[in-house]
Every structure is written in C-alpha cells, then in structure tokens.
Amino acid sequence: MSKKVKRLRGMYDVTPDRVWVWQKLESIVTGLLKQYGYQEIRFPLIEKTALFQTAIGEVTDVVEKEMFTFTDRKEVSISLRPEGTASTVRAVLENGLIFNEPQKLWYAGPMFRYEKPQKGRNRQFSQIGVEVFGYPDADADAELLLMTHRMWQLLGIEHVRLEINSLGSSECRAAYRQILIDYFEQHLDVLDSEAKNRLHSNPLRLLDSKNPEMQSVIQQAPTIQDHLSEASQAHFSKLCHILDTCGVSYHVNPRLVRGLDYYTHNVFEWITEDLGAQGTLCAGGRYDALVEMQGGKPTPATGFAMGLDRLVELIVDKNLWQPDPLTDIYVVWDKQVEVDKVMAITEQLRHDLPTLTIMMHLGSASFKSQFKKADKTGAQFALIFGPEEMSQQLISVKAMQDRNLPQQQLSYPAVVSFLKQQLTG
Ligand code: ATP
Ligand code: MG
C-alpha cells in the first residue's frame, strides 16, 4: 500500500461540521458591507514578488521571512499573496477604478504566510478586507470603525476592545522616526539583535516588540502622540469625536504602530482577550502614501483586514452559534413503491417550496433505519410514501420534533400549504 500524503504544515481542511460557521460568518459580514454600500473586488492569489516588496516594504516580517515565493517557468519571482492591500491597489490602478472617482471596496479569501503555526496563526488563513480610496477625512476612518462595531454586535461577539492611534502624516512620521532612533540609540544595550537590525530601517517596529526585556524601554519611549502636527492632531481628534458621538468606546494606545510600512494617520486594532496571545481580530488604518508608492496619483486611502480563522475559533470556542438542522423535510419511502415517482414528487415539492431544504432518502432501507436517519438530520417533518399512499395519491406527514402533532394523510396541494404554513413564517 502506498503511503498517505498528509496536508502541509500550517494548512487545514474545513470539514462540514465547521463549514456552516464559515458560511454564516461570511454571509453576515458581506451583508453588512453591502448595507454600507461597499463593493467586492477579486484579484489573483499570486502576484509578482516585486509588488509586495514595494508595497509592504522590504523591512517587514511579511516580506523578510513570511512569503511563499517561487520562480515560475520563465524565472519570474512570484509570491502567494500574504495580504490584500497591495493587490487591491494594483488592481484599482490597472483597471482605472480610482481615476477621478472614489471607491469603497472589499475582498475576501485566503492569504499565505510562512509563519510558525500555532493557535490563531496558520500558513493559509482567510481575511475579509476593506479598502477605501479617495476620501481624505476622518469620517471615512470612522465609518470603518462604526461598521466593524456593528459587525461584532451582529456576530454576537462581546469583549472586543478597540485601540486607536495616529501615526501622523508622512512628515510627522519621518520626524518621529528620527526621534525614536535617537532614543533607542541611548539604550542599545537592551535591544535584541532584531531590534538593532531594524533600528535604522524601521524603528517604529521596535515599539511592536514582544521581548519582555525591552518592555520598560519601550514604555518610556517618546510617543508619536506628542509629535503630531496640528493638522494630524485635528484629523485624529475628528475620528475620536465621531466615535464618541456614535457611542463606540476606544482606548488610545500611543504604542500601536501596525506592522506594515505604509500606514499614516489613524491606525486601529480590535482585540479580544478570549483567544490568548493571537487576539487581534481586525486591524487597519489610513495609508495615504501607498497609491503613489505603487505608481498612481496621490490618493488618500484607508482600510482594514480581519482574520476569519480567529473569528471562527472564537465563535466555536465560546459556543456562540448553533447549527441549523441539515434539512427541514426528510422523504421516506417504502421499497415497494416506484422510486422514480417519489423522486418526481420530491422535485415538485422543491419547486413549490423553494426556501425549504428537502432531503430524500437515497437507496432502499427499512422504515426504521430511514426514520433514524431523518431524526439525525434534525428534520421537522418526514413525508412518507408507502404503497397505500401511492395508490390513493396521498402523502403521510409525520412531525419529527413536535410530538403533539398527529400524523396525517394529505393530498399533494394540502401537503404544500401545510408545510408552507408550518415552516415558512
Ligand atoms: P499579527 O501581529 O497577529 O501577526 P499582523 O499584523 O501580521 O498580525 P495583519 O497583516 O494586520 O496581521 O492582518 C490582519 C489580520 O489577519 C490579523 O489581525 C489577524 O486576525 C489575521 N492574521 C494575520 N496573520 C494570520 C495568520 N498567520 N493566521 C491567521 N490569521 C492571521
Ligand atoms: Mg504577522
């Protein structure tokens, strides 16, 4: 016997007992995005590696060590997409979508990062992301947060904390960068080697370090909040003001910097304590410099990405949702009746009751085992086709859950109106 090939490390299968959580999650979130007037965009799973090097930045975890990169048959370096923002910007530019008009877009799908797999951290994971182009003001950032806030309510997720910060304009950020370099240079002895490597290329990332030995130096580092220009300060205050008025609570975290290079002004994260270390559910912010960096005209932009794997885990861990029964109706038939006739009637029922799920027993079996199966599916009603029913052109209807309802024999039209009345409110 040949050896079984197993799946790759950090990858997983979603089996039917979990798929319903994914489907419900995706449908609630995409329904909400539609309610706010956002439109979907789709782009490839693979891009030229150069796209991510330019957009995300060379000195980031993602580009330095997390990409799945390979060369194709023509020796072009290609990477599986590790995130969606770079591709969205490429796609809107390539398709002329932001030529003199704003866009509110979303995408969904798998992303790939070669990370150390652990709870809430996989090598293939799913994100739903939102990218908004052409709106410079904080109202656009605020709308993203109001929308995510509403989303937690719709999903039934409690205890998510919103942290926000401002990184200022590109100029503020550049000035602050130098202030940080000067500060950390006075504390070289406490910096680990990664921090030392990044000190000159990406000093903001040092604030993100999880190294316990660096925490006290990080805590005392100068904060960007103290070095924002008046305009940047006003931009941030406007966001806070809208959140206050709309009743969304938040915590200003001056050390929140986000991993990627392209952020400016408002940045944010939604964090839960219920998942352990990997608690960031949704993260994003404004990236006014990116479109130009990718070869477009200067265009203000803001957005977020949220990790669906972590959301599914939270929903399952906390038992937040219950699955729907597999079917509403289970069709049971005696092996003496002609299966083609039963199938034809069942098809007609699916036509007449399009919102109900109707499962027919496949293969001949005893009534006992068919009812056992019907019970397992959680069906509300079993429809029984025996020789007697067929000869009289009737159908027996048996309630599977409500023991007080008597079994009855009804004509086809009566069955349709009975099921309509019972199951479609
Ligand atoms: P982290 O600090 O957890 O590595 P990140 O800054 O790399 O996060 P982003 O690039 O901002 O993450 O991605 C947005 C969201 O996507 C994260 O908040 C998280 O919910 C999810 N995410 C990121 N990487 C993974 C992964 N490897 N597995 C599962 N979900 C992930
Ligand atoms: Mg990461």
**DSSP 8-state class, residue 164:** E
- Model pLDDT, residue 259: 63
For the cut 90, the answer to whether the pLDDT of residue 277 exceeds it is no
Over residues 86-127, the pLDDT tens digits come to 999 999 999 999 998 999 999 999 999 999 999 999 999 999
Give the integer Cα–Cα distance in Å for 240 and 252.
Answer: 9
Going from the Cα of 215 to the center of ligand 1, the distance in angstroms, rounded, reads 22
Shortest-distance Cα residue to atom 16 of ligand 1: 307
Answer whether 115 contacts ligand 1 (Cβ < 6 A).
yes
pTM of structure = 0.92
Ligand 1 atom with minimal separation from the 129 CA: 14
More confident residue, 209 or 300: 300
Q: Give the contacts of 215 (CB within 8 A, at least 6 positions apart).
A: none
Burial, 282: exposed, middle or buried (Cβ in 10 Å; 0-12, 13-18, 19+)?
buried
Nearest Cα to Cα of residue 26 among 269, 267, 315? 315
In this predicted structure, what is the pLDDT of residue 209?
87
What is residue 262's predicted lDDT score, i.e. its pLDDT? 77
Cα 154 from Cα 25, distance rounded (Å): 10
Percentage of the residues of the chain whose pLDDT score is greater than 70:
99
Ligand 2 centroid to 200 CA: how many Å? Answer: 21
Residue owning the nearest CA to atom 20 of ligand 1: 307
**3 state SS of 396:** strand
Which residues make Cβ contacts (< 8 Å) with residue 179, sequence separation at least 6?
A: 222, 227
Ligand 1 site-directed mutation target among 280, 282, 304, 309, most atoms within 8 Å of CB? 280
Res. 342: pLDDT tops 70 = yes
Please tell me if the CB atom of residue 205 comes closer than 6 angstroms to any atom of ligand 1: no
Q: By CB neighbour count within 10 A (0-12 exposed, 13-18 middle, 19+ buried), where does 259 fall?
A: middle
Query: Does the CB atom of residue 279 touch ligand 1 within 6 A?
Result: no
Given this model, what pLDDT does residue 293 score? Answer: 92
Q: Please state the rounded mean pLDDT for residues 362-391.
A: 96
The whole-number average pLDDT for the span 271-279 is: 90
Q: Hey, what's the torsion of the CAs at 86, 87, 91, 97, to 10 degrees?
A: -50
Supply the residue whose CA is at minimum distance from atom 21 of ligand 1.
Answer: 307
Share of the chain above pLDDT 90, in %: 85
pLDDT (tens digit per residue) in 12-47: 999 999 999 999 999 999 999 999 999 999 999 999
What average pLDDT does the segment 244-263 reach?
88
From residue 93, alpha-carbon distances to 96, 109, 280, 289, 299 in Å are 5, 21, 30, 14, 11
pLDDT of residue 331: 98
For tokens 């092996």, name the residue. Answer: 335
Q: Decide whether any atom of ligand 1 lies within 6 Å of the 307 Cβ.
A: yes
Going by alpha carbons, the residue nearest to atom 11 of ligand 1 is 283
pLDDT reading at 253 higher than 90: yes
d(CA 181, CA 201): 10
- Could you tell me the distance, in angstroms and rounded to a whole number, from the CA of residue 309 to the centre of ligand 2? 14
Nearest-angstrom CA–CA distance, 202 and 179: 12
Each residue of 165-208: pLDDT tens digit?
999 988 888 899 899 999 999 999 999 998 998 899 889 889 88
pLDDT greater at residue 87 or residue 56: 87
The DSSP output letter for 336 is: T
59 pLDDT more than 80? no
The alpha carbon of residue 328 and the mean position of all alpha carbons in its chain are separated, in whole angstroms, by 29
165 CA to centre of ligand 2 in angstroms: 19
Q: Distances in Å between the alpha carbon of 381 and those of 51, 100, 271, 344, 396?
A: 55, 57, 43, 19, 10
Sheet holding 103-112, edge to edge: 39-40, 103-112, 124-133, 301-307, 280-286, 264-272, 160-166, 251-252
Residue 100 per-residue DSSP state: S
Determine if ligand 1 sits within 6 Å of the CB of residue 125: yes
Q: For residue 311, what is the DSSP state? A: H
Q: DSSP assignment of 225-282, as one string?
A: GGG--HHHHHHHHHHHHHHHHTT---EE-TT---SSTT-EEEEEEEEESTTTT--EEE
Residue pair 278/121 in contact (Cβ under 8 Å)? The answer is: yes
